[in-house]
Amino acid sequence: MKYKKTITSIAFLILGLGGLQAQKTVTTAGNKATGIGGTASYTVGQVVYTAGTGTNGSVEQGVQQPFEISTTLGVNETTINLELSVYPNPTADFLTLKVEKIENLHYQLIDMQGKLIESKTVRSNSSNISLENQPTATYLLKVTKNNHLIKTFKVIKN
């Protein structure tokens, strides 16, 4: 009888040690935060986190190992050579939008509350956009071609 208990105890010990290779951190909470500058996920209760970078990439060790795949199906991608020049940045009076090809290009200046400040068609290779009458804030300049978003620029007015 004593021999049977010993064998059973050893079997449970061996089976239990296999589970020790699982997750070692219990997190209390976590979420995903999204803003204009991008997306970040976080975990509350994660005790250890280390990161190492090299010439060929980076490695993050910890509980979270997010990997996001983003695909667009059925949409022809539009490529355009855009350059936004802001003198100075942050700007006080105006900014200049420079493009090589102006066909079917539009821009929208939007404040951080989503209010449309200005919407115009690009008519030359260099467009001046006035911010003189706007308050000090951060704005978004969205450039579209044929109603498809090409690029969004973050502009700071001081």
More confident position, 6 or 73: 6
Closest Cα partner for 121 from 141, 94, 139, 103? 103
Q: pLDDT, tens digit, for every residue of 100-158?
A: 778 888 999 999 999 999 999 999 988 899 999 999 999 999 988 888 888 888 888 98
How sure is the predictor about 71, in pLDDT bands with cuts at 50, 70 and 90? Answer: low
99 belongs to a structural domain: yes
89 belongs to a structural domain: yes
Number of structural domains found in the chain: 1
111 belongs to a structural domain: yes
24 belongs to a structural domain: no
- Determine the pLDDT at residue 97: 87
CA gap 118, 123 in Å, rounded: 15
97 belongs to a structural domain: yes
Listed in sequence order, the residues at least 6 apart from 128 whose beta carbon sits closer than 8 Å to its beta carbon are 94, 95, 96
CATH number at residue 123: 2.60.40.3580
5 belongs to a structural domain: no
For the cut 60, the answer to whether the pLDDT of residue 11 exceeds it is yes
For the cut 60, the answer to whether the pLDDT of residue 89 exceeds it is yes
- Determine the pLDDT at residue 2: 73
* CB hemisphere CA count around 94 (13 angstroms): 7
- Determine the pLDDT at residue 41: 65
Tell me which residue range forms the domain holding 114.
82-157
27 belongs to a structural domain: no
Q: Indicate the pTM of the whole model.
A: 0.49
More confident position, 153 or 61: 153
- Determine the pLDDT at residue 67: 47
